[in-house]
Amino acid sequence: MPKKRGHRLSIPFPGQAVEVRKLNRKWAEVRIPKLGWLRFRLSRAVGGSIRNATISRDGNGWHVSFGVHSGRKPDAPNGLPACGVDFGVTSSAYVSTETAPRLMPPSLTESEKARLKHLEQKKARQVTYAKKRNGGKYSRRLRRTLGQIGKLKSRQANRRQDFTHKLTTDLAKNHGLIGIEDLRVKNMTKSAKGTVEMPGKNVRAKAGLNRSVLDNIPGERRRQLEYKSRLYGSELRAVPPFHTSQTCADCGVVDPGSRKGCGRLFACVHCGHEDDADHNASMEIEARARRTGGTVTNSTRSTPRMRVPATGQRRTRETPQPAHAS
Ligand SMILES: [Zn+2]
C-alpha cells in the first residue's frame, strides 16, 4: 500500500459499542461494530474503563488503541527540584540539572540502515521499470518493497516515540517544576532547515524520512509533558524562547558574541562564564520558569482523562484483518 503523507488509515469507534475481553496474559479481543470480535495482543494493561477504540494501520500492521477513563487523580505537588529543558532539533534534550545531554539512541541499527538503503534503491529501480515498461502500473514486487520500507520506517518512528515518552515521563516524575521554551511552529521549521542544510547525498530522501518521523516531535513533547506533569504532581511552564541561547545564565547579559563561531561552547563576553551552550540555555530556561510565576500551561483540565494512545505503547498488533472479519 503506497504510503502518502497524511494518509494513515485510522477509524474511530465510539465507546458504547466497543467491548473488550481478555483471553490470557498477552491476548485479548475487542468487539467492534460490523467487524465482530478481533483478537489483539495486549501491549500494556488497559488500566481503566474503555471509552472508545480506534483502529489504525501503519507499516507494521493493524493496531487498536483505546480511550480509557482511568479514574486516576492528579498527584499533589511533588515538591521536587526544578529544571529547565533545552530540546535539540529532533533527538536530544539538555536538562539543566544534568551534566550531559540526553541523546536519542539511533533509531535503526546499522544493518537496518543498510537494509533500508538497499530497499530504497530497489524501489527506485522498480518505479523506473513501472514507468517505462509497465504503463505506470506498480508491480506486486514493488508493492512488496514499499511494504518492507514502511515496516522499517514504522519501527523507526516507534523507537523515536519510545525515547520521547521515556524522557517526558522521567522529567515529570522527578521534577517539581519543568521549564520549556514556548515554541510553536518555530522548532518545526528549524528542523526542516536543518535537514536541507545537511550536506551530501540523499537530502531529499532524508527530508522525507524526517517528515515521517518527526510528525510527533515538538508539539508532542509538550503535550506529553502537560498531561504527565499533571499526573505526577509537577508543574510545566512554557517560557518566552527569545535569545535563550545568547543569554548568560550566570549574569543575564544577552550578547550574540557569547556564542563565538557557532560552536558548542558558550563563553559570556560580560562575566566570562563558560558552559556548554545547550546547558547554558537550559539553565536560562529554568531561571525564566522560576521567574514566571503565573503562566502555567497545565492544569487546564481537572478531570483526569487518560487516553491510551497518549502513553506510547498504544499500538497493539492484531492478527485478523478487519476486512476478513466482516
Ligand atoms: Zn555572563
Tens-digit pLDDT profile for residues 133-187: 999 899 999 999 999 999 999 999 889 889 999 999 999 999 999 999 987 644 4
Rg, the chain, Cα only = 23
How far, in Å, is the centroid of ligand 1 from the Cα of 265?
13
Asked if residue 295 has pLDDT above 50, the reply is no
Task: Given the residues 235, 250, 275, 278, select the one marked as catalytic.
Answer: 278
pLDDT value at 16 more than 80: no
d(CA 258, ligand 1 centre) in Å: 9
Residue 219 neighbours by CB under 8 Å, 6+ apart:
184
Phi, psi at residue 279, to the nearest 5°? -65, -40
- Is residue 278 annotated as a catalytic residue, yes or no? yes
The residue length of the chain stands at 326
d(C-alpha 271, C-alpha 267), whole Å: 9
> What does the pLDDT read at residue 70?
83
Q: How far is the CA of 253 from the centre of ligand 1 (A)?
A: 6
Domain range annotation of the chain? 1-71+308-326, 73-105+169-303
Tell me the CA–centroid distance for residue 14 and ligand 1, in Å.
56
pLDDT (mean) for 174-202: 60
Task: Select which of 29, 58, 86, 318 is catalytic.
Answer: 86
Is pLDDT of 237 > 80? yes
Whether 275 sits among the annotated catalytic residues: the reply is no
3-state secondary structure 121-157: HHHHHHHHHHHHHCCCCCCHHHHHHHHHHHHHHHHHH
User: Which range is least confidently modeled, 75-79, 124-128, 192-196, 218-222?
Assistant: 192-196
Three-state secondary-structure class, residue 173: helix
pLDDT band of residue 293 (cuts 50, 70, 90) is: low
Q: Around ion ligand 1, which residues have CB less than 5 A away?
A: 248, 250-251, 268, 270-271, 273
Buried b (16+ CB within 10 A) or exposed e, 266-293: bbbeeeebebbbbbbbbbbbbbbbeeee
Question: Ligand 1: distance of its center to the CA of 262 in Å?
Answer: 17
Res 125 pLDDT > 90: yes
Does residue 255 carry a catalytic annotation?
Answer: no
- Burial bucket for residue 172 (CB in 10 Å: 0-12, 13-18, 19+): buried
Q: pTM to 2 decimals?
A: 0.73
Q: Ligand 1: distance of its center to the CA of 185 in Å? A: 29
Q: How confident is the model at residue 57 (pLDDT cuts 50, 70, 90)?
A: confident
pLDDT at residue 160, rounded to an integer: 87
C-beta of residue 234 within 8 angstroms of C-beta of residue 80? yes
Distances (CA, A) of 260 to 85, 118, 257, 266, 277: 22, 41, 6, 8, 11
Cβ atoms of 281 and 86 closer than 8 Å? yes
Q: Residue 309 pLDDT more than 70?
A: no
Amino acid occupying residue 176 = G
For the cut 80, the answer to whether the pLDDT of residue 190 exceeds it is no
Spacing, Cα 177 to ligand 1 middle (Å): 24
**Candidates 29, 58, 181, 275; catalytic one:** 181
pLDDT in the model for residue 185:
45
CA of 285 to the centre of ligand 1 (A): 15
Confidence of residue 312 (pLDDT cuts 50, 70, 90): very low
Q: For residue 169, which phi and psi values (nearest 5 degrees)?
A: -65, -45
CB count within 10 Å of CB 38 equals 21
